[in-house]
Amino acid sequence: MTTPSAFIFPGQGSQKVGMLADAYAAFTAVRDTFEEASTALGYDLWDLVQNGEQEALNMTATTQPVLLTSSVALWRAWLEQGGAQPAVMAGHSLGEFSALVCAQSLGFADAVQLVRQRGEFMQTAVPVGEGAMAAIIGLDDAAIVATCAEVVASGAGEVAAVNFNSPGQVVIAGHTAAVDAAIAALKEAGAKRAMPLPVSAPFHTSLMKPAGERLAQAMAGLSIAAPTIPVIHNVHAEAEQDPERIRELLVQQIYSPVQWTACVASIVSRGITEMVECGPGKVLSGLNRRIDKSLNSHSLEDPEALQATKLALTGQK
């Protein structure tokens, strides 16, 4: 018997030069997936991951296909090694696309090209320097939402809570001046920390609506199927089966807050406590600990971690 699990897929911020080298050496599925992505993109993605500059890897239009490919590669390695299908999936922002590929809702070659475009659309929606993001630690969600509304009302520009990552950890984004004003106001309101993030665009805000319109056009002819495994969506923390509804949610997601805390709560409500982070890094595992201490987090990042996860889910810890 295998314990029911949820597979969760990371978004931007989990990438680093040299990642997945051991998995690439060990698993045919990882090598084949990167080769497939390179063919779709027209450049050697694996060479970039291993030998490129971190700055190049952090460019949004590069980061998105890199992380999607990494997650799909580890998912395929998991299946190649006889890993069991999870009961449910979810992904943080970009990770939602990874989840939908692994649930057979989106084709991989289509998705890797689509997320490269998504990255370009997001990066160019707001001129560099005019948008910003910041992490707010140690203040409740309602206080952050209210403070952002006050800053907007003051005429400083647009700013809103955009990533509800865990209780006490929320990301805000908007016009640079408005984010700066919100940081000052939130510190005054009692935030333990309020830190600007090293990104150049205000993701998941209303300022991303032009990117959403372009993404809708890019997805117009894209084939989407009903997922074979339920995927919890960022916009409303629910699973959907209707392909056209999934198409709408992927567009809305680009300018809507990421409801990650609610997504994890939705998974927990299904009686699941085993969470497998299917991608590089352990960002989501860290958030899990803050959201619900009953959750057990697992990784597939390297061969040893994958084997340990298999054993844990079959009760052979």
Cβ atoms of 165 and 94 closer than 8 Å: no
Cβ atoms of 49 and 14 closer than 8 Å: no
Cβ atoms of 101 and 20 closer than 8 Å: no
Q: Please say if 233 is a catalytic residue.
A: no
Q: Do the strands 169-175 and 231-232 form a parallel or antiparallel pair, or are they unpaired? A: unpaired
Q: Do the strands 88-91 and 169-175 form a parallel or antiparallel pair, or are they unpaired? A: unpaired
- Spatial neighbors of 302 by CB under 8 A, at least 6 apart, are 20, 22, 23, 26
* Torsional class of 288: left (φ above 0), alpha (ψ -120 to 50), beta (otherwise): alpha
**Strands of the chain, DSSP E:** 5-9, 88-91, 131-137, 159-166, 169-175, 193-196, 231-232, 274-277, 296-299
Cβ atoms of 95 and 10 closer than 8 Å: yes
Amino acid symbol at 306: L
Q: Please say if 93 is a catalytic residue.
A: yes
Catalytic residue selected from 204, 233, 256, 299: 204
Phi first, then psi: what are they for 84, rounded to 5°? Answer: -80, 150
Amino acid symbol at 151: V
Catalytic residue selected from 14, 93, 266, 297: 93
* Residues known to be catalytic: 93, 204
